[in-house]
Structure 1
């Protein structure tokens, strides 16, 4: 009596590669798009930013202009920059 042991059939490399690439293409991973949080600016930081911009404006004018106008213009500039920064990260 001769016993033959059945060995499992091996798949050809082409079929194995096709099957693994099909599995890889159907299995997609999704990453959540999370907007990078903009760090909050404290009132003190905002004040410091405005003071710096106002100073630089006055310096450009040779300190001959109105300091209140420089401050108000600096406030607008800083607030516009902060609003644009927040809008850019909210997308």
Structure 2
């Protein structure tokens, strides 16, 4: 067993980590989009009355996290 890491093994490991990070970022963006859509429909049901934006967003976060 060698204590040295081959360059291609290190590259593959970094690429794998980059893939994981890219997938995590994609999921985060997707979640934000889903939350925004749910919050939008909540506001639409109320006729877009102002003052409920934060509540809509927080409720939408809960709903999206349950799915």
Give 1 or 2: higher helix fraction.
2
Which residue of the partner structure matches residue 74 of structure 1?
Answer: 60
The yes-or-no answer on 1:48 pairing with 2:33 is yes
Counterpart Cα distance in 1 of 2:65 and 2:48 = 23
Deviation string, structure 1 residues 28-56 (Cα, Å, up to 9, x no partner): xxxxxxxxxxxx87100000000000000
Please report the RMSD computed on the Cα atoms of aligned residues, expressed in angstroms.
Answer: 1.7
Q: Larger radius of gyration, structure 1 or 2?
A: 1
Q: Which runs of 4+ in 1 moved over 4 A?
A: none
Q: 1:1-91 maps to which residues of 2 (within 5 A)?
A: 42-64=27-49, 65-81=51-67
Q: Which runs of 5+ in 1 are unaligned?
A: 1-39, 82-91
Counterpart Cα distance in 1 of 2:48 and 2:59 = 15
Q: Which runs of 5+ in 2 are unaligned?
A: 1-23
Counterpart Cα distance in 2 of 1:70 and 1:63 = 11
